Amino acid sequence: RISGKMDTAVVAERLLCITGEDSVTIDRKFTDAWTGKLDTRFLLISNELPRIADASGALPSRFIVLILTNSFFGKEDRSLTMRLMAERSPILNWAIEGYRRLSERGYFLQPASAQDAIRDLEDLGSPIAAFLRERCVVEPGRNVQVSELFREWGTWCATQGRSGKGTLQSFGRDLRAVKPGLKITNPRLDGAQIRHYEGVALVESARSYQLDQRDDWR
């Protein structure tokens, strides 16, 4: 379990670094530090999805999630080892065939049965990504005032039961972590410069824009 006392930013950084196959430096007792790439795969087993903060949303894409729905609590098969031993040859052939398919493909496939869990994992790690998906349209040609988008973010946080929306600056940092291509412009409105995000708009504003475009075409 990941408690509130744990620095989840450090956890996310280490996981991203190692799974991204970056070089890492590891201190060793009584000898020099070691630097290199770790050929490591992590196996996490839990009754609940881990909540590891990662505003960019990159970390969930590196998980292969398997959902286990059957519980054997109270109905344990204490003869399972002996029954599996009797099936050693078929199990080995099954494993070899799976390894062959994996080698030919070059990567693991994410089971379709875990798509909902992947989405929950993304939302737990990057609420800003969930906000963009639910309340915004991200595409070229769209724009929204920085203050308006931040105000909508605060409203969304309240409906989700989130304790704090952060600051305008932290919101902008996390927003660009999810969508690096977003830009800030300062067009003049009524003689004053108003900061806008380019490349994103609120859903309702986008709908109004589409209706206006239809009216102009008519």
Encode pLDDT of 119-173 as tens digits. Answer: 888 888 889 999 999 999 988 889 999 999 999 999 999 998 888 888 999 999 9
Q: How far is CA 39 from the centre of its chain?
A: 22
Query: Are residues 197 and 182 in contact, defined by beta-carbon separation less than 8 angstroms?
Result: yes
Among 51-65, 170-184, 200-214, the minimum mean pLDDT is found in 200-214
Q: What's the mean per-residue pLDDT of the chain?
A: 86
Of the ranges 17-21, 29-33, 72-76, 116-120, which is most confident? 29-33
Q: Is pLDDT larger for residue 190 or for residue 30?
A: 30
- 211 pLDDT tier (thresholds 50, 70, 90): very low
Is it the case that residue 182 has pLDDT exceeding 90?
Answer: no
Between strands 192-193 and 196-202, the pairing is unpaired
Is it the case that residue 214 has pLDDT exceeding 80?
Answer: no
* Residues in CB range of 131: below 8 A, 6 or more apart: 153, 156
Residue 129's Cβ-count burial label (10 Å; 0-12, 13-18, 19+) is buried
Mean of pLDDT values over 47-76: 86
Q: Is pLDDT larger for residue 145 or for residue 191?
A: 145
Q: Is pLDDT larger for residue 5 or for residue 119?
A: 119
Q: Is this model's pTM higher than 0.85 or not?
A: no
Q: Is pLDDT larger for residue 163 or for residue 21?
A: 21
How many CA atoms lie less than 13 Å away from 88 in the CB half-sphere? 4
How many CA atoms lie less than 13 Å away from 201 in the CB half-sphere? 13
For residue 205, the model assigns a pLDDT of: 62
For residue 37, the model assigns a pLDDT of: 93
Mean of pLDDT values over 184-212: 77
Mean of pLDDT values over 89-97: 96
The alpha helices in the chain, defined as continuous H runs, are: 8-19, 80-85, 88-105, 115-125, 127-135, 146-160, 168-178, 203-217
